[in-house]
Amino acid sequence: MVATGEQLMERIEQIQLPNQPESRVSMSSGISSVSMSSNHQVETVEESVTPLKQMTACYKQIIAHVGEDVNRQGLLKTPERAAKAMLDFTKGYEQNLDQLLNEAIFDEDHDEVVIVKDIDMFSLCEHHLVPFMGKVHIAYLPNKRVLGLSKLARVVDMFSRRLQVQERMTKQIATAITEAVQPHGVAVVIEATHMCMVMRGVQKANAMTTTSCMLGEFRENPKTRDEFLALIRK
Ligand SMILES: [Zn+2]
C-alpha cells in the first residue's frame, strides 16, 4: 500500500530522531530500522520508504504550501532534487574526525605558525535553513605534530555541511584541530554572509559576520594573535 503524502507526514512526525550524527546512518537502510531507543523500534512503515523518499514527500508539501502547482512541468522533479540537495548540504553528519584525519597526522619538528587562509565555506543556518557562506582562516602553532594541509579544509567541510550557527562552527573547528594534533595554540576566524539577513528581515546585503576562536598561545600571547590577524587581513 502506498501512503498518501498526508499519512506519510503524520508518520514522519511521530518519529523523533536522536540528536546524533549516527541517526542518518541508521536511517539509510529504511525507516523501519530507526531505533527510538536501544530497545524500542519504530513501527515499520514500509521497507521501501527511505529518507530520500520521505524528504521528497515533505518538499512536495512545502511546494504546495507556498501556493505552487506541484504538477507543473518545471516542478515535477523538484521535490526529489531538493531532497538530494539537502542530503548533500548536510553530509557532514556522516563524517567523523577520526576517519577524516586518518593517516594525515605527521611527527614534525616544525615550530612556526601554520596558516591556511581563505578556505571557502558553505553552510546552512540552523535557525532558517538558508545558506550562509564565506571564508575560514585557520592557524595553529605545532607541538611536534602537524596535519596534512588539505585536511584543514576537510575539517571545515565536515562541520559546515551540517545545520550550523557560525559561532559554534568556529569553536568546533578550533577544538577539532586541538584534539587532533595537541598544538601550542589554534586560531580560527570565520567571515560570513548570512542569507537569512540578506534576503529577509533587515536586508543588509553587505553585512558580514566575523567570529573567532583563539586557544592556547593565540589566546594568551597578544603578539602571536596580532601576527595572525595581520596576516589574514592582507
Ligand atoms: Zn538564519
CATH for 104-233, options being 3.40.50.1820, 3.30.1130.10, 3.90.700.10, 3.40.50.2000 = 3.30.1130.10
Catalytic residue among 172, 194, 213, 217: 194
Question: Where does the chain hold its CATH 1.10.286.10 domain(s)?
Answer: 5-89
Cell numbers representing residue 64 in the block: 504546495
Predicted pLDDT at 199: 86
Predicted pLDDT at 25: 43
115-131 average pLDDT score: 97
Q: Is 65 a catalytic residue?
A: no
184-230 pLDDT, tens per residue? 999 999 999 999 988 876 667 778 999 999 999 999 999 999 999 99
Nearest CA among 111, 187, 97, 172 for reference residue 146: 111
Sign of the Cα pseudo-torsion (31, 36, 40, 42, in order): negative
Mean pLDDT over the full length of the chain: 84
Question: Where does the chain hold its CATH 3.30.1130.10 domain(s)?
Answer: 104-233
Predicted pLDDT at 18: 41
Backbone angles phi, psi at 201, to 5 degrees: 55, -120
Catalytic residue among 6, 43, 126, 179: 126
Predicted pLDDT at 24: 52
Give domain 5-89's CATH architecture. Answer: Orthogonal Bundle (1.10)
132-150 average pLDDT score: 94
pLDDT surpasses 60 at 23: no
Q: Give the pLDDT band (50/70/90) at residue 44.
A: low
11-34 average pLDDT score: 42
